Amino acid sequence: MKRKKILLVNPWIEDFAAYDFWLKPVGLLYVGSYLKALGVEVELIDLMNRYDTELPNYVHVPKDKFYGTGKFPYKEIKKPEILSFMPRKYKRYGMPEELFRKRLKDLKNDIDAVFVTSTLTYWYPGYFDTINVIKQELSVPIVLGGFFARNQPHIAKKSGVYVFTKTDLRYLPSFLNQLLDWNLPQIDKDWFLDISPAYELYSKIGYIVLLTTVGCPYRCTYCIAHRNWEGMKFKSIEKIIDEIERFSQMHGIKDIVFFDDAILINKEKHFKPLLRKIVEKNLNKKLTFHLPNGIHARLLDQETANLLYEANFKTIKLGYETSGKLQLTTGGKVRDEDIVKASEILHNAGYTHREVSAYIMVNLPEQSIDDVRNAVDVCASIDIDFSINEFTPIVGTDIWIDLVNKGKLTGLEDPIILNNTVLPYWWNNMKPEEIHEVKEYAKNKKIQLGWK
Ligand code: B12
Ligand code: SF4
């Protein structure tokens, strides 16, 4: 029987700014393992892997900053026409095109199809440029999947390739059988619960990103998470520990990062036992752990915080988003008092502002500058760090639907202009100067506190 082989590609990011704050194409790596379980061979080209050993032969790779994070190599490129009004430079981050083409040439005739992943919707020019290079080098079917493909399938199709919009990978065998005239069987495996991301496909990486759950039971109006997954899934503690041990040894890395949307849900049965196991197995002695995706302040208790500290968690982000009335109207996941309480609990456990930081959003509809300033003041007064992120309306969220109903968006905007950096330059909400001012306010606050 002829062997079957698929190439996985993590595409370029094209944007005004990007930083490797622990980015790994976890979804694509799950797809890789699922394909292997179906008897398909897989190979990976990750254009965003700063640790790729061939990269320094082609481009200057900036040194790591902290815990395996760092700046991507980049090249300035022409802005898409629709962004010509933007007073900033547009860049392609990741592997130089020359090296990408060389890798593809090396593979020629040896693969049956290429799978390209996607995340943020407004990064699609990078996905399309990646696909164009693949089309020029290989003449096999190309499939685009991931969040962008799922959220914006009609735009994804403009790439001229096949689009896969499901999250349940049970649909993969029939999809491939139809596409490639194969005869793959259905397998009795859950893509998330029974399978691990295929980190063995890398020869060198700087950290491992894992998911212990998928989904979120909250319904925040600005977030798509609850529409992204059907219900919640919790991976077994044994499997998570196995992934941590196996992949950290395989790659000799120290940093383990969790991408979960709601890791504290069901904490008595899920996260606490996981933390206890990490300590019991002494993994905290050789590894550091990070939670860069905001956790739920209200769900934190003293025991969890103590366990986090003992288990050597070094980055803890709290989802704060805003102060003021919007806290309730956007879904009520957190109030000021929850953040204050979480901070107390974390300080009791031994944490400081060096490890704990809150995400604050700016430019939310109906948010005032004072809501943002107050949120900064609350964090500063309780000794937790803060970062200000610009809001972006995600198609399909309640906020987006409301904005369309109120005529504040047409609903047909090109995702490129929904980029959070671009939004203030055309959208009639906060002005770029106001956003700049509030960011300066936050910066000065850190200087006053001696944190900068
Ligand atoms: C990690 C993450 C990030 C990381 C890295 C993103 C990356 N490139 O990896 C970082 C920190 C950079 C990030 C930033 C932001 N993010 Co983010 N992020 C996520 C997050 C939490 C996880 C992504 C993930 O790994 N999912 C898990 C995997 C398993 O899912 P998946 O990739 O979809 O894969 C599945 C399928 O799609 C399929 N699949 C995947 N690829 C392929 C390919 C093929 C060929 C096939 C067949 C199948 C397939 O297989 C998997 C199994 O089902 C998602 C939320 C979520 N839970 O998905 C938000 C999410 C993507 N981010 C979001 C947002 C809003 C942001 C920010 C804009 C937030 C902000 N305001 O600052 C910023 C962007 C700032 C910037 N300019 O950089 C939104 C989407 C926004 C949008 N318009 O696209 C999401 C959906 C979160 C949300 N709750 O609303 N984010
Ligand atoms: S913002 Fe967080 S809590 Fe709210 S729905 Fe999204 S993932 Fe869940």
Percent of the chain's residues with pLDDT above 70:
100
Tell me the torsion sign for CA atoms 290, 311, 353, 322: positive
The whole-number pLDDT of residue 363 equals 94
- Is the per-residue pLDDT at 199 higher than 80? yes
pLDDT digits (tens, 9 = 90+) for 391-424: 999 999 999 999 999 999 999 999 999 999 999 9
Ligand lying nearest the CA atom of residue 192 = 1
Q: What is the mean pLDDT of the chain?
A: 96
Whole-number Å distance between alpha carbons of 393 and 409: 9
Q: Which residues line ligand 2 (CB under 6 A)?
A: 216, 218, 220, 223, 225-226, 261-262, 319, 331, 333
315 within ligand 1 shell (Cβ under 6 A):
no
32 lines ligand 1 (CB under 6 A): no
Ligand 2, closest atom to CA 331? 4
CA of 147 to the centre of ligand 1 (A): 6
Distance CA 340, CA 323 (A): 12
At residue 109, the pLDDT reads 73
Q: At what angle do helices 172-180 and 26-37 cross, to 10 degrees?
A: 70
Which residue among 14, 119, 122, 123 has the greatest number of ligand 1 atoms within 8 angstroms of its CB, and so is best to mutate? 119
Which atom, in ligand 2's list, is nearest to the CA of 296? 3
Residue of the CA atom closest to atom 11 of ligand 1: 21
pLDDT in tens, 112-155: 999 999 999 999 999 999 999 999 999 999 999 999 999 999 99
pLDDT single digits (tens) 2-60: 789 999 999 999 999 999 999 999 999 999 999 999 999 999 999 999 999 999 999 99
Contact present, 74 and 92 (Cβ < 8 Å): yes
User: What is the total residue count of the chain?
Assistant: 452
Given ligand 2 and candidates 213, 220, 359, which is best to mutate, with the most ligand atoms within 8 Å of its CB? 220
Report pLDDT digits (tens) over 316-357: 999 999 999 999 999 999 999 999 999 999 999 999 999 999
Which two tokens mark 14?
A: 């094209």
The rounded distance, in Å, linking the Cα atoms of 121 and 417 is 10
Read off the pTM: 0.96
Domains and their CATH numbers in the chain: 5-180 (3.40.50.280), 207-449 (3.20.20.70)
Backbone angles phi, psi at 345, to 5 degrees: -60, -45
Whole-number Å distance, alpha carbon 200 to ligand 2 midpoint, is 31
Output Rg (C-alpha) for the chain, integer angstroms: 22
Residue with CA nearest ligand 2 atom 7: 261
Residues in contact with 168: Cβ distance below 8 Å, sequence separation at least 6, in sequence order: 191, 230
Residue 204 clears pLDDT 90, i.e. is over it: yes
394 near 121, Cβ under 8 Å?
Answer: yes
CB of 146 shorter than 6 A to ligand 1: yes
Measured from the alpha carbon of residue 391, the closest ligand is 1
Evaluate: CB of 259 within 6 angstroms of ligand 1. Answer: yes
What is the spatial distance between Cα 128 and Cα 156, in angstroms, rounded to a whole number? Answer: 9
For residue 389, the ligand 1 atom closest to its alpha carbon is: 72
Mutating to test ligand 2, I would choose from 333, 392, 394, 398 the residue with most ligand atoms within 8 A of its C-beta, which is: 333
CA 252 → CA 24, 61, 315, distances in Å? Answer: 17, 20, 20
Q: How far apart are CA 125 and CA 387, in angstroms?
A: 27
- Residue 438 confidence (pLDDT) above 70: yes
Q: Is the CB of 278 under 6 A from ligand 1?
A: no
CA distances from 240 to 169, 234, 246 (A): 20, 10, 10
Ligand 1 midpoint to CA 349 (Å)? 31
User: Within 13 Å and on the Cβ side, how many CA atoms surround 29?
Assistant: 18
pLDDT tens digit sequence for 60-72: 999 999 999 999 9
Answer yes or no: are the C-beta atoms of 143 and 164 closer than 8 Å: yes
Q: Determine whether the shortest distance from the Cβ of 18 to ligand 1 is under 6 A.
A: yes
Which atom from ligand 2 is nearest to the alpha carbon of 261?
A: 7
Closest protein CA for atom 44 of ligand 1:
145
Residue 283 has, within 13 A of its CA and on its CB side, a CA count of 28
The ligand placed nearest to the CA atom of residue 179 is: 1
Any ligand 1 atom below 6 A from CB of 389 = yes
**Token pair recorded at residue 47:** 């254009």
Which of 252, 26, 239 has the alpha carbon at shortest distance from 147?
A: 26
| pLDDT value for 452 | 81
How far is Cα 378 from Cα 298, in angstroms, rounded to an integer?
Answer: 16
Q: Within 10 A of 169 (CB to CB), how many other CB atoms are there?
A: 24
| The pLDDT of residue 304 | 98
Q: Which atom of ligand 2 is nearest to the CA of 216?
A: 8
- Categorise residue 207: left if φ over 0, alpha if ψ from -120 to 50, beta otherwise: beta
Question: Does residue 143 line the site of ligand 1, with CB under 6 A?
Answer: yes
Strand order across the 5-10 sheet: 41-46, 5-10, 113-116, 142-144, 162-163
Question: Which residue has a Cα nearest atom 4 of ligand 2?
Answer: 220
| Three-class DSSP labels, the chain | CCCCEEEEEECCEEECCCCECCCCCHHHHHHHHHHHHCCCEEEEEECCCCCCCCHHHCCCCCCECCCCCECCCEEEECCCHHHCCCCCCEEEECCCHHHHHHHHHHHCCCCCEEEECCCCHHHHHHHHHHHHHHHHHCCCCEEECCHHHHHCHHHHHHHCCEECCCCCHHHHHHHHHHHHCCCCCCCCCCCCCCCCCCHHHCCCCCCEEECCEECCCCCCCCCCHHHHCCCCEECCHHHHHHHHHHHHHHHCCCEEEECCCCCCCCCCCCHHHHHHHHHHCCHHHHCEEEEEEEECHHHCCHHHHHHHHHCCEEEEEEEEECCCCHHHHCCCCCCHHHHHHHHHHHHHHCCCCCCEEEEEEECCCCCCHHHHHHHHHHHHHCCCEEEEEECCCCCCCHHHHHHHHCCCCCCCCCHHHHCCCCHHHCCCCCCHHHHHHHHHHHHHHHHHCCCC
- Cα 353 from chain centre: 23
Could you identify the atom of ligand 1 that is nearest to the CA of residue 24? 9
1 has pLDDT over 70: no
pLDDT of residue 105: 95
